[in-house]
Amino acid sequence: MKSEPFKYSWDDLVAEKEGLWDGVRNHRAKNNLAAMKVGEEAFFYHSREGLEIVGVATISVEGILDPTDPEGKWAAVKIKPKSKLNRPVTLKQIKAEPKLAECELIRLGRLSVAELTKAEWDTILEMGGGLSGEVQSPRVTACEAR
């Protein structure tokens, strides 16, 4: 799941304890959101500034109609922060990793909610040194694992 940190950052999610992921206006991203289930995890990616995966969030509420959509066509979910990564994983690192060459995060760079394979998820998690167990921000995201 991608977010511009000046609009909504990992720190914002941590402060709120639960956030509504809305405003997605891409059909593929909408389908990825609609497929998310409570308990699944998503990487939180800072786009535009930082360009890095900073943490892992957990889907807390699924199947919400996006309240910012007056026509009721778009999906939303609620997420809770689970943990920051031990070290952020930059877009540059992701692009340099051959195991991630086919990742939606790379192939469909403008997609705000991208799907990952289990192998891609595990690779990124390893690149980030695993979860720190802390929720606080590593600095100033995302993909969904399937």
pLDDT tens column, 40-59? 999 999 988 889 999 999 99
CB atoms within 10 A of CB 50: 20
State the pLDDT at residue 136.
52
Query: Which amino acid, residue 68?
Result: T
Q: Is the pLDDT of residue 13 over 70?
A: yes
Domain hosting 121: range is 2-145
CA distance 10 to 137: 6
CATH number at residue 44: 3.10.590.10
Spatial distance between the Cα atoms of 100 and 91, rounded to a whole number of angstroms? 11
Span 96-132, pLDDT tens digits:
999 999 998 888 877 788 888 999 999 999 999 988 8
Mean confidence (pLDDT) of the chain: 88
The total number of structural domains that make up the chain: 1
